[in-house]
Amino acid sequence: MPYTDPHVAAPSLWAVRQEYGPDFQVSVIEPDDVDQRQRRLSIEEAVIAVYRRESGENTTANFGRIIEGYKRSSRRSGGFTGGELSEGETEPNSVSGVGPLPWTDADEPTSRSWMGLNWTAPEPLTNAYGLPTDPGVYRIWDPEEPEPLEYIGQSGNLKSRLYRYRRNRDEALVFSYALVDDGDEKHKREQVETDLIGAHWLATEESPQDQF
């Protein structure tokens, strides 16, 4: 099994090939200004988000996932080569992900019900105290210029993550967060985060300013 660098999906694709055979199909497209990294990655998020919405399923090799029965390699610097699991071994990245968000108010990135989540009321980053330690997603924006957002993120501990932003970001910015049910695994939170970034791109044709 290859390492997760230079391409993070390589271990998963290798496992699929081992399990189901060697044949893959590929299709490509070159959007305008694809050489701009932020734009390219935003379009990628939008494509995955729309795939999740339309199919009701997750892609096999995104979000650091791997098929059942296999364990992912580390980065090359870590030196660990993955492969088939031994009896009794488990791999958290093979756990099923979460389904697509309902896309409620998808074109209103600062709405309290954006994408069907239960967002908290916006507060200044200076007020980022006493927050829950639960997993969730968050958004940060300038109340004077709310679109595009400044950033969309996910964390296994909202209190720790937003406290760090409070210390390091512009005091004029505001934040809002939403808890993620079944958000215990990172790949599940990233699937929700991807839906949000993809919806933001489709609504504004821009990436959040500090994304990527």
Place of tokens 């839906």: 195
How many other C-beta atoms are found inside a 10 Å radius of the C-beta of residue 160?
A: 11
Please give the pLDDT value at position 90. 87
**If pLDDT is split at 50, 70 and 90, which confidence band does 21 have?**
confident
Please give the pLDDT value at position 12. 96
Q: Are 154 and 180 in contact (CB under 8 A)?
A: yes
Q: Are 88 and 82 in contact (CB under 8 A)?
A: no
Please give the pLDDT value at position 190. 97
**If pLDDT is split at 50, 70 and 90, which confidence band does 112 have?**
very high
The one-letter code for the residue type at 179 is L
Please give the pLDDT value at position 167. 84
Question: 53-107 pLDDT, tens per residue?
Answer: 999 999 999 999 999 999 999 999 999 999 999 988 888 888 889 999 999 999 9
From 175, 194, 42, 205, select the one nearest 103 (Cα to Cα). 194
Question: 23-42 pLDDT, tens per residue?
Answer: 899 999 999 998 999 999 99
**If pLDDT is split at 50, 70 and 90, which confidence band does 137 have?**
very high
Question: 153-210 pLDDT, tens per residue?
Answer: 999 999 999 999 988 888 889 999 999 988 999 999 999 999 999 999 999 999 999 9
Question: How far is CA 87 from its chain centroid?
Answer: 31
Please give the pLDDT value at position 170. 86
The 3-state secondary structure of the chain, one letter per residue: CCCCCCCCCHHHHHHHHHHHCCCCCCCCCCCCCCCCHHHHHHHHHHHHHHHHHHHCCCCCCCCCCCCCCEECCCCHHHCCCCEECCCCCCCHHHCCCCCCCCCCCCCCCCCCCHHHCCCCCCEEHHHCCCCCCCCEEEEEEECCECCCCCEEEEECCHHHHHHHHHHHCCCCCEEEEEECCCCCCHHHHHHHHHHHHHHHHHHHCCCCCCCC
On average, the pLDDT of the chain sits at: 95
pLDDT for residue 152 is more than 90: yes
CA end-to-end span of the chain: 28
Q: Are strands 174-179 and 136-141 parallel, antiparallel or unpaired?
A: antiparallel
Give how far Cα 38 sits from Cα of 4, 25, 179, 197, 206, Å: 22, 26, 27, 12, 9
Place of tokens 């044949």: 23
Question: At the fourth CATH level, which superfamily is domain 114-204?
Answer: GIY-YIG endonuclease (3.40.1440.10)
Give the global pTM: 0.94
What are the extents of the domains in the chain? Answer: 10-94, 114-204
